[in-house]
Amino acid sequence: MNLSRIAIDIAAKCKPILVKIIPIQLLRAVKDGLIEKNTNNLKNQNIKEFDSEKYKNGINLIGNIRADNGLGQSTRLVADIITNSGIDFSVYNYYQLPGGSMTDTSYDYKISEDLPYNINLIHVNASEFTVAYMQLGKKIWDSRYNIAFWLWELEDFPDEWVGCIDLVDEIWTPAEFVSESIRKKTDKPVRTIPYPVKAPTDERYDRMHFNLPKDKFLFFMMYNSGSIMERKNPIGTLEAFKKAFDKDNSSVGLVIKINEMEDSSEIAKIMDFFDGYTSIYFITTNMSKVEVNSLVKAVDVLVSLHRAEGFGLGMAEAMLVGTPTIATNWSANTEFMNSEVACMVDYELIEIKEDYGLFKKGYRWADADINQAAEYMKKLYQDADFAMNMADNAKKFIEEKLSIESAVKLVNDRVEQIYLEKRKLK
């Protein structure tokens, strides 16, 4: 275990050099091999049981709190819940290289290397959990109550990650869809703590700021270049737009936000797909969260024909800022979306035919009905009253369904119960 930990630490520190001489896919394969090898040994760690008196009452939140990606935002939303709960907490800013863009400093005042509290809330996904344990060390786990906060996008939790469950006392997730997938593999407590969604905007970030036309009805899609594109299914949105509107319709446009773009040829491929269309707009610059929220508010419709979601923050935020949303009617987003508040697209569950990163051959995900999505696009474009009513309903629904108050109550009740159960055992 120690040799593997050293190997991963060295690889992480040397990554900027290694990627210049070794293909990134090969580096990932080496890392995955180390993870698989050591996950099988996790049952033998003999982590010391929870001793509530060894450390102060409170929570050590461990995760990449500064990251500008979805996991960073998730960590900050969890921090928001704890902040509003009144529970004492600190943040241990943990990330695995390369880590991506990390510019959010909103919780820097809470960052500490000390881990002073007796509950660990470890916001590191199961796919990276073995590496986190190897890098942070058993001492951080010992004598604390260890909670993992995990996301996963498919209905079945991978068997190769089940060993990580031995490192924790319980698991939290943001959606019942995720919780149910994990409950199939463990008798340990798995609790759902939905995100309290917020989406602050700034009027300065209008269409002019983003170099977008004022006179067009704009559809919007967003995905991460470095993530598994097949899951987000941007191609589905491109196909639906092309079915809905021909190249001669100058009243509509499609805005494509590509985050962390690694290959500039992506834009050329998309433009080839839209040969003859003049209203396709690309945005590839890094933005603050307020800018992204403002961009979503500035467009007319957000489209997500995803194959699977572990929550769907982008959709929830669009609903909150009043932007009508078209979305696949499957996975975690259906817990805060229905046909009264969004255009829900039918789907067929299909078998994954080959490995796509974490999403392996043989699992299932959704294939959205492109024709229906195209019809929804036309409906929202043509019927302003329909679009406005849906946007109003969605905003009210999200404000009630995903409130900070409900999330705080869930966390406070559970933490109180953890301490009460420990006292009863003494």
96/81: higher pLDDT: 81
Residue 161 identity (one-letter amino acid): W
**How many whole angstroms separate alpha carbon 406 and alpha carbon 400?**
9
| pLDDT score of 57 more than 70 | yes
| pLDDT score of 30 more than 80 | no
What's the mean pLDDT in 308-333? 98
3-state class (DSSP) for residue 248: coil
Find the range with the poorest average confidence among 1-15, 50-64, 263-277.
Answer: 1-15
pTM: 0.90
**How many whole angstroms separate alpha carbon 386 and alpha carbon 230?**
31
**Tens digits of per-residue pLDDT, 329-341?**
999 999 999 999 9
- Cα angle value 261/380/238 (rounded, 5°): 30
The mean of the pLDDT values for the chain is 91
What pLDDT is recorded for position 28? 52
Helix axes 234-244, 370-382, angle to 10 degrees: 60
Contact 85, 64 (CB under 8 A): no
For residue 161, CA distances in Å to 2, 32, 75, 365 come to 20, 12, 21, 19
**How many whole angstroms separate alpha carbon 22 and alpha carbon 28?**
10
Contact 197, 335 (CB under 8 A): no
In the chain, % of residues over pLDDT 90: 77
For residue 189, CA distances in Å to 194, 202, 335 come to 16, 41, 20
First-to-final CA distance of the chain: 34
For residue 241, CA distances in Å to 210, 268, 279 come to 21, 18, 11
What structural domains does the chain harbor? 43-196+404-425 (3.40.50.11930), 217-401 (3.40.50.2000)
| pLDDT score of 14 more than 80 | no
| pLDDT score of 24 more than 70 | no
3-state class (DSSP) for residue 89: strand
**Tens digits of per-residue pLDDT, 197-215?**
999 999 999 999 999 999 9
What's the mean pLDDT in 68-78? 93
